[in-house]
Amino acid sequence: MTRKRHGLAALAAAALLASACGNVIDAQNQAKSGSDHGGEGKLLRVAIFGGSWEKGIRQSVITPFEKETGIRVQAEIGTSTVTLGKLRQSPDAVDVALLDSGVSETARAEKLVATLPQDKIPALPELADRAKLRDREGIWALTMGYWALGLAYNSEKVKTPPTSWDDLWAPANAGKVAIPAPATTGGLPLALLAAGHAEAKGDTDLAPGLTKLRDLNAVSFFDSSGAASNLLQSGEAAVAAHYNSGAWPLADQGLPIKWVAPKEGALAADSRWHVTAKARNVEAAYKFLDFASRKQAQEGLVKTIYLAPANTTAVIPETVRGRMPYGPDGSLDDLLYVDWEMINKNKSKWTDAWTRTVPR
């Protein structure tokens, strides 16, 4: 090979190397900026829950959103507390975060989620007023749907179906009951209910409720919705203070599990969409929240994970009306709503009191 050809070969190799390095840098920049192959294909990182919730959210929200917008969604699966931990460690860990009530307020107090510009979410007027979480700076979260703590039971093992919270203490159910621990969404609200302060504001005395729970002959204090479902599925518990969204999927599997809203009212909770304070793909995040708040997406969540819709135009089919958190003939107004800021303020103190008082 002549010296000229050697020179041309060297130039070609250098060009290839430069191109390869450029591609690597472009790929790194794309990953850093949140873009996915450029153009309309933006990558949106969304934190959601697992299990039946993941299936329902993918089917009703994520897949049709991707199809309509061309934006690719990368789902990050985890509980509310796991997602909160990720955001505390890295505020830009995800663009959109799904968080339960209670955890949601904590994220806002720690400035981990952003105020939402109302003109970016056209579906906003269709949402119930209570589904738009506000503070002095504006709306900062949108409810995806409502669920509630009520009474789940095994219809083959429980001869008299429960209708009241008092039925947890019925002699026939002694040694067969499971209730949520204070680390769960329903734990401290249940203690407040037992103390007669389900909708209390400000500081309140939890001691009477803890004493009442101590006297409950419970077989288990569960730390997650999945754990409650496992207790019912295995037969270890025949009655549980459980969530409608966790109990009805067991019935879908053919198990003899039913759920009722107590006559005094079920304890309301909701799961909320947030745009994180350090989101990389903010515009796509707004589009996602708008899509998830629309009538079609909300109706899908009603049918898949039995959430009461936040969108006031959504229609609840008769086939699932009985599985709503307020029962077949109720509405959002029939639920009992707790003051999460008050609970969060007292959470450490009340959890310590629970630990000292309730377990045997």
What percent of the chain clears pLDDT 70, i.e. is strictly above it? 87
In-domain check, residue 24: no
Residue 53 and residue 179 share a domain: no
Residue 342 and residue 284 share a domain: no
Residue 152 and residue 212 share a domain: yes
Residue 155 pLDDT: 95
For the ranges 12-21, 44-53, 80-89, 157-166, the lowest mean pLDDT is seen at: 12-21
Range of the domain at 319: 43-146+269-324
Residue 194 and residue 65 share a domain: no
In-domain check, residue 7: no
For the ranges 33-42, 103-112, 224-233, the lowest mean pLDDT is seen at: 33-42
In-domain check, residue 333: no
Residue 42 pLDDT: 83
Residue 232 and residue 128 share a domain: no
Q: Which of 224, 249, 227 is nearest to 55 (CA)?
A: 249
In-domain check, residue 166: yes
What is d(CA 17, CA 203) in angstroms, rounded to the nearest whole number? 67
What is d(CA 51, CA 75) in angstroms, rounded to the nearest whole number? 13
What is d(CA 139, CA 280) in angstroms, rounded to the nearest whole number? 20
What is d(CA 338, CA 156) in angstroms, rounded to the nearest whole number? 33
Most confident of 38-52, 193-207, 303-317: 303-317
Residue 22 pLDDT: 43
In-domain check, residue 280: yes
What is d(CA 220, CA 298) in angstroms, rounded to the nearest whole number? 34
Contact of 189 with 270, CB cutoff 8 Å:
no
Beta bridge partners of 43: 72
Determine the angle formed by the axes of helices 187-194 and 207-214, rounding to 10 degrees: 100
What is d(CA 219, CA 147) in angstroms, rounded to the nearest whole number? 24
Q: Is the pLDDT of residue 31 over 50?
A: no
Residue 283 and residue 216 share a domain: no
